[in-house]
Homo-oligomer: A and B are copies of this chain.
């Protein structure tokens, strides 16, 4: 069994990005610039945004953090998005989710210029990715593709079972892996809350991608010997032995499943670090105009 080390891979990729940024800056151009909008003070969101700002520094990017209080109006937020859309100094930006209930996340996502939508949540990017055109791809599925590729895990003709059909992980993951591409060319099945016989379906899989948000859902009897298991789950479960009072648990019963796998990602340290590095890769693509060439 090989443990897929997301921390090491992400460090490696950040070094590669930093080297490219150094080259860009050496030609006299400015460094890529990622902006993040953070509304309120949710603990998880604070942590994620701080990690993104730190990753920008490691990659040699400029970053800007724009904060609003919980009571910001939707209108004010949309104005800020228009400002960032128009700001030629900003290559890409994200609005950290979730947002307070009085703000429509969908309206916010659709207000972002697709050319700066480095989270890949805008329908234009979702649609372009689905039909095989260059697009900003949602960071988690993109990070998983990168892991599969860096670990030379062949996906062509493999049976892949994706657990979960969220708009930001399950659906784009399935869409990417069925493309005529490499990684890709897999036979993909998507399971969800209405699926019957999910254990049996999992047992068919050469590759399982678990993104349900149900800690320990994938048990040893659900995994074919030699399968590849990618765990996207990061649920906070109470843990009185930790200073934070919680620890992260994945969707996979790691200790029982791992001995049976060919490859497996741990939680934490697997998919998580790759998500942030994918955002960095998208920002670099945005800065270089690789997805949407300047018109």
**Measuring CB to CB, which residues of chain A are less than 8 angstroms from any residue of chain B?**
106, 122-128, 130-133, 156-157, 165, 167, 171, 174-175, 178-180, 185-196, 201
Contact = CB atoms under 8 A, between A and B. Distances in A.
A211 to B, nearest CB: 14
A157 B186 CA distance: 22
B178 A165 contact: yes
Nearest to A162: B178
Contact of A128 (B127, B133, B185, B194): B127
Most buried by B among A123, A157, A174, A191: A123
Most buried by B among A128, A133, A185, A190: A190
Contacts of A187: 189-192, 194-196, 201
Contact of A157 (B126, B171, B189, B196): B196
A283 to B, nearest CB: 21
A127 B117 CA distance: 14
A273 to B, nearest CB: 26
A165 B131 CA distance: 10
Contact of A185 (B179, B180, B194): B194
B132 A167 contact: yes
Contact of A130 (B171, B180, B189): B171
Contact of A189 (B132, B185, B188): B188
Contacts of A156: 194
Contacts of A125: 127
Nearest to A170: B178
A231 to B, nearest CB: 21
A129 to B, nearest CB: 8
